[in-house]
Amino acid sequence: MLEITRIRTEKEAIIEGLKKRHFNAEPIINELLEKDEQWRKGKADLDSILSEMNTHAKNIGLLMKDGKKEEAEAAKTAVAELKNREAALKATVDQLDKDILQLMYQLPNVPNELVKAGKNELDNETVFEAGTTPVYDFEALPHWDLAKKYDLIDFELGVKVTGAGFPFYKGKGAKLQRALINFFLSEAEKAGYTEYIAPHVVNEASGYGTGQLPDKEGQMYHIPEDGLYMIPTAEVPLTNIYRDVILPSEDFSIKMTGYTPCFRREAGSYGKDVRGLNRLHQFDKVEIVRIEHPSNTAKALEEMMEHVKGLLEKLGLQFRILRLCGGDTGFAAAMTYDFEVYSAAQQKWLEVSSVSRFDTFQANRLKLRFKTADKKTQLAHTLNGSALALPRIMASLMENHQTADGIVIPEVLQSFTGFAKIN
């Protein structure tokens, strides 16, 4: 959520910045600032009334002490009238406060200056590429055929038990999935991230804290009886650990990681692009989250990108990094880099990670602050990234490391799988 002080002082710059997203913020900001002016005037009037009430309250005691009963009664009448005015004005101010908050929830984050304007994925910039496309001397199979051939994943059983988008992993397929999770967590630990096992459901406040609500409410699985939501990513519970927290000093760099299943409705997804593991309603992911001093955000983002690059290099996968344009950048992000691996069997790029900086956008919602050297409070910065999301990594490993007689397991995974090849 953008800070109201920033909206007041940088109105035109924010409106111009949000045009990178093809988002017309002017009507919302104009209404917001009008209500903000009304709120500030109402708050000043309310403070004046409270001050006047306090003065009368003090005088009543003195008047009674001096035997000026009639004047004391007049003061009591004045206090009663002020209390009525205070109650009506407070109701107005509280409603304005709620209206302002709802308007602010509608404003996405302002893209970083490095983010270029654009409408969709066609306008994203490729900033890095590595690896080569495998060449086969046999007919390469897509992962859904490999899964069936080697009895690794049962998509039909998932449909029977739950529905489309909820596959069963079995045998060596399950072991490979578990090996990837352990490998990603092990690498995160080496990089200084503290591991958490987080809840798989969160309350509404947590959804609002990281920006999933109200923006993506229809994409989250909701449990209305309990007011809970199934998490779409470990980012939500991990970042919310620091909701309503004031860090005691400027000397901090918090690095967290966690494996969780993730749940997304993916409404409107259909066709060949969602076949097999390409798009699921439940999938596994290891997330990395950082909370940083604003001066360290750019460096932290680079470190997170290098971490994800290292994972893909160790897995022997061809990949590229895209800096997303304004129109393709997520609601809460100031800047996002997507990592895509190339699926040689499907002949297409598959997104496997997004690494984003949110600057103060999430921290403002979370009320996540730190104490400066002069004891003032300032908003922290948040970042997160997938390191990594498993379904498309699994698909790419199966497809890109297939041979005529099996699937070769990358060396870094073999100590976790207990086997070097699936055949």
Contact assessment for residue 344 and residue 255, using Cβ atoms and an 8 Å cutoff: no
228 forms bridges with which residues in the sheet?
A: 203, 223
Is residue 279 marked as binding?
A: no
DSSP 222-266: EETTTTEEE-SSTHHHHHHTTTT-EESSS--EEEEEEEEEEE---
Tell me how far apart the alpha carbons of residues 77 and 64 are, in angstroms, rounded to a whole number: 14
Contact assessment for residue 356 and residue 330, using Cβ atoms and an 8 Å cutoff: yes
Is residue 26 marked as binding?
A: no
Name which of 148, 187, 145, 137 is nearest 410 in CA terms.
Answer: 187
Instruction: Quote the distance between the C-alpha of residue 63 and its chain's center.
Output: 60
Is residue 266 marked as binding?
A: yes
Contact assessment for residue 255 and residue 294, using Cβ atoms and an 8 Å cutoff: no
Is residue 269 marked as binding?
A: no
Is residue 356 marked as binding?
A: no
Tell me how far apart the alpha carbons of residues 308 and 301 are, in angstroms, rounded to a whole number: 11
Q: How does DSSP classify residue 43?
A: H
Is residue 365 marked as binding?
A: no
What is residue 331's three-state secondary structure? coil
Residue 33: CB atoms within 10 Å? 16
What is residue 70's three-state secondary structure? helix
Is residue 249 marked as binding?
A: no
Is residue 351 marked as binding?
A: yes
Q: Exposed (0-12), middle (13-18) or buried (19+): which is 251, by Cβ within 10 Å?
A: exposed
Q: What residues form the annotated binding site for L-serine?
A: 233, 264, 287, 384
Q: Which residues are annotated as a binding site for ATP?
A: 264-266, 351-354
Q: Where is the binding site, in residues?
A: 233, 264-266, 287, 351-354, 384
